[in-house]
Amino acid sequence: MTEERRFLAVMIGGKSDDEITAFISTLGGMEPVIDLVFALMPQELDPAAAKDCVLGWEISSGDQKVSYRTEIRNGVLTAEKKDPGPDTTATIIIDMVEFLRIIIEERDAPKEYVLGKFKVKGDLVLAYSVPVMFPFKEKASLST
């Protein structure tokens, strides 16, 4: 787990939606925070567990939306800030606060999907495997 992700976990863990939104505002708003998350995402990928795919991400907060396209090939992830496009294997549509809670592992992604907290367009089986490709808890316990 990167230091930046640990920082997010400390700052937003256990906080209300309003508190998280206020904190995000102090960092310059939704867009720079999402940009940082996606810039760090290649470091978090476990190449051994990675599956070749194209994942789309549509992350929203109120009337604002940020879209990313991530491509995983041969254990290497590239991320581009752009519309995911029609060739994505799966697109995850999620609220900013929920996204952050999942990436700091305060919430379990498969459970949150079942509860209707976010949507998936495309390959649901692949979407369920995303947490396996980014084993944050395992990396955190190895580096502490």
Domain extent at residue 67: 3-143
Copy the structure tokens of residue 74: 């041969």
User: CATH no. for residue 113?
Assistant: 3.30.1050.10
Please tell me the total count of domains within the chain.
Answer: 1
pLDDT in tens, 4-30: 878 888 899 999 999 999 999 999 999
pLDDT score recorded for residue 138 = 40
- Tallying the residues shown for the chain, one arrives at 144
Q: How far is CA 50 from the centre of its chain?
A: 15
pLDDT in tens, 27-71: 999 999 999 999 999 998 999 999 999 999 999 998 999 999 999
Question: Are residues 68 and 37 in contact, defined by beta-carbon separation less than 8 angstroms?
Answer: no
